[in-house]
Amino acid sequence: MTWPYKDLIAIYDLKREDISTILEMASSFKEISKRDIKKVPTLRGKTVVLLFYEPSTRTRLSFELAAKRLSADTTALSASGSSFTKGETIMDAAHNVMAMAPDCIVVRYPYAGIPSKMAQLLPCSVINAGDGYHEHPTQALLDMFTMKERFGSLEGLKVAIVGDIMHSRVARSNVYGLRKMGAQVVLVAPRTLLPPGVDTWGVDVSAELDPVMPDCDVIMMLRVQKERLSRQFFSGDREYSIFYGLNRARVEMMKPDAIIMHPGPMNRGVEITCDAAESARSMILDQVENGVAIRMTLLYLSLGGSVNVD
Ligand code: CP
């Protein structure tokens, strides 16, 4: 069958079978990055444009590497080096980029809705690389791929997502994806960092981290997104780290085979200590490695690759 989607905007839009297909295909794409010559001709002649209007290390680099490993041509634009600084809107920029005939635009933007708008208006594929608090679908896919590699299946896994849920597109995408795949999710956060309506998400919620630690297969720590805080949501970094930080004592409470994840960037000493980030349980760099494989898969599917799932 042919991949049915032009764009990838949100995990919310995908079916369970779509997620399974992506996770299965990512294993083959991961193998390419282990070769001496890390390049295949699959997307030769295709052009991928990266529009990053918000800072990024992992997502931007891994999309660029993913495209290059599939032999696509890439070019990147950031807000600071573009005519955004002269008042041009992102949508005007997008129409101008489209006039140069890209096959795919990968976009990160500080507010929700822009990737979806581009997908409606532009004929090329659009992949959301993170929009405001809305979604970060490729991050959730690489997170689920990392869990599946480790545990074999997502069905029945217990996953705690800890921290600034309110401002986290990573939390939203992971909740949608993990629930579709049969995992159980518990969100752990101070009440002030939980979004309104969280009771409709179909997850458990806890204001305390310690009781959750011994029960979960995955502890996913989130950064407090200070750049998105409009007011004081908690009393300070020290208090936050005492109540919600992952430290050596809490790592010792974990189940024997449980793992630690973090989408990055980390605020060491706030939501996670160096001990925890670098412990044998930490899958943080595996997540980064898997990001390239997932993004290769998504570029392949979005740019017309077919998939055999029947
Ligand atoms: N996880 C993530 O989105 O990291 P970057 O902001 O560095 O891309």
**pLDDT tens-digit readout, 22-41:** 999 999 999 999 999 999 99
Domain boundaries, the chain: 11-135+288-302, 137-284
The atom number, within ligand 1, closest to the CA of 57 reads 7
**pLDDT tens-digit readout, 215-224:** 999 999 999 8
109, 59 contact by CB (below 8 A): no
* Residue 100 neighbours by CB distance under 10 Å: 9
Q: In the prediction, which pLDDT does 158 show?
A: 98
CA atoms within 13 A on the CB side of 6: 13
Model confidence, pTM: 0.96
The atom number, within ligand 1, closest to the CA of 60 reads 8
CATH superfamily assigned to domain 137-284 = Aspartate/ornithine carbamoyltransferase (3.40.50.1370)
Q: How far is the CA of 211 from the centre of ligand 1 (A)?
A: 29
CATH placement of domain 11-135+288-302: 3.40.50.1370
Q: How far is the CA of 263 from the centre of ligand 1 (A)?
A: 7
Residue 229: pLDDT above 90? no
The atom number, within ligand 1, closest to the CA of 263 reads 1
Strands 104-109, 73-78: pairing is: unpaired
Pocket of ligand 1, beta carbon within 6 A:
56-59, 130, 136, 139, 263-265
Longest CA span, the chain = 56
Q: In the prediction, which pLDDT does 224 show?
A: 85
Q: In the prediction, which pLDDT does 121 show?
A: 98
The atom number, within ligand 1, closest to the CA of 129 reads 3
Nearest CA to ligand 1 atom 6: 56
Which mutation among 51, 52, 58, 271 tests ligand 1's pocket best, with the greatest number of atoms within 8 A of CB? 58
Q: In the prediction, which pLDDT does 230 show?
A: 61
Domains 11-135+288-302 and 137-284 share a fold: yes
**pLDDT tens-digit readout, 263-298:** 999 999 999 999 999 999 999 999 999 999 999 999
